[in-house]
Amino acid sequence: MKKTSYLNLNYKPDLNNEIIAEYYLESSLPLEQVAQEIAAESSIGTWTKLSTLTDKTFQALAPQIFFIHPPSGTVKIAYPLALFETASIPQLLSALAGNIYSMKAVGHLRLNDLIFPDKYLKNFTGPAFGIEGIRKMLNIKNRAIIGSIIKPKVGLSALEHAKLSYAVWSNGVDLVKDDENLTDMSFNRFNDRVDKVMFYLKKAEKETGQKKIHAFNITGLPDVMLNRAKYVKKHGGKCVMVDIVSIGLDSVQYLRKQNLGLIIHGHRAGHAMFTREKNEGMSMLVLAKLARMAGVDQLHTGTVVGKMEGTAEEVLSINKALQIKWGKSNLKPVLPIASGGLHPGLVKPLIKILGNDLIVNFGGGLHGHPGGSTAGAKACYQAVMSAKDKTFNPKKYPELEIALQKWPVTHATKDY
C-alpha cells in the first residue's frame, strides 16, 4: 500500500536510521493537520501537491509523525537520515528549525529535543578534552573547579586584567575567563592581553604549584577567530572561549576541526532569545546537544540558585545530556559551567543539586567581596572546599564569613 500521508501514529521509529524531533506546537487548526504541514515543509513537501514528487521518493524520504498529544501540544516526528548532510549542523537546523517557524498555520512552535542515531553522531568530532581531559590538565580529581570572570566586564586595561587574574589565581581560583563582550578593545587589545595574562599565569603556577587556565575570548569572524586561537596557542595558552550563539555552531565546528589542542570554552550569551519562552524557539537542551557535537569542552548551562533563568529539572537534564555516554559514539562528555549571580553562600546548595563535575564561576560574587578580589577568591575557594563538610564552621574562615554576611544564603536561595 502506498504511503500518502506524513501522519502515522502506529509507526515505530527506527532509532538506528532516523532523527527524532520533538516539538511543542500551538495552532488554531487541528494539530494533526499542522503537524503534517511541518513534516512536509521541513523535508520533501510544500503547500500544494507536486507533480515532481514521485511515489518512490515519498516512500523513501517522507518523515513519519508518530506521536501527537494535543493536551500538551507535543508532536514527535521521525526523519530519515537521508534527508541530512553528514556532520552539518547548519543544514540540520535549516530543515528542522527553519521555514516551519514562519508558517501561518503555526501559532507557536518550539523544538524541545532531538534524538540522534549513532551513525549520524559518529561523523561529529566532539570535544577534544572533555571532563577527564580538563581535570587532568588542572590535576583536580574530585571537587568542583573554581572559575572567575574578570569584572568589570569591560573597561580594564590588559595589564589590569592580567594582575587581577594573578590575584585570584594566587588565592584559590583555577580558571579565569574573559567576559562574553571582551574581545579586542581599544583599551584592552587582544594580543596584549594574552601576553600579559600568560606572564602572570606562569607566575601564579610557579608560586602556587598548581596548574591554572585562562579562557581567552576569541569570538569574531572565522579568520580572525582562528588567528586569535593560534596566538593563544603560540604563547602557551590552553583555552579559548567562544560565544556559540553569536558566532554560530558552524564556526565552533570549524574551530574544533583545526585540532589546535586548546580547550574550547562555550559561552551561551544570547541563547535566551530563542530558548527562554516555553512555547517558542528552541530548548537549551537542543543547543547543548548541538554544542557537544560541534566540539565544545565546557558549556554554560545554568545555575538554578543564581540570577539566570532555569529550573533544577531543566539544568539537570541539560547537564546529563552533556555528560552521559551517547550511544556508541566516542563523543567525550562536556564539563558544565554554572555562572551568573553566584557567590560563596550559594556553593553548597549548587553542588548539592548539580554535583561536582562542574565549573563554579564567580563574577560579582567574588570581586564584590567587601575585602576585594583577593578576599573574594579566598572565600570562593573556602566555600567549594567545604561544600560537603557538614561540620564546617565558617567562623574559622573570615573571608567566607564576611561573604555570607553580605549575601545571606536563605534570601538568595528561597526560590530554588
Which residue in the list 151, 161, 212, 238 is annotated as catalytic? 151
The H helix count followed by the E strand count for the chain is 18, 13
Known catalytic membership, residue 265? no
Which residue in the list 76, 212, 238, 267 is annotated as catalytic? 267
In angstroms, rounded to a whole number, what is the distance separating the alpha carbons of residues 131 and 135?
Answer: 6
What would you measure as the largest C-alpha separation in the chain, in angstroms? 79
| DSSP run (H or E) holding 289 | helix 284-294
Cell numbers 564556526 correspond to 251
**Side-by-side strand order, sheet with 74-80:** 64-69, 74-80, 18-26, 108-115, 281-282
Of 36, 27, 72, nearest in space to 278 by CA: 72
Give whole-number Cα distances, 235 to 201, 216, 262, 380, in Å.
11, 12, 12, 29
CB-based contact 274:282 (threshold 8 Å): yes
Helices (H), 102-257: 118-121, 130-138, 158-169, 190-208, 222-234, 244-247, 249-256
Known catalytic membership, residue 369? no
Cell numbers 573570615 correspond to 398
Contacts of 186 (CB under 8 A, 6+ apart): none
Active site residues per annotation: 151, 267
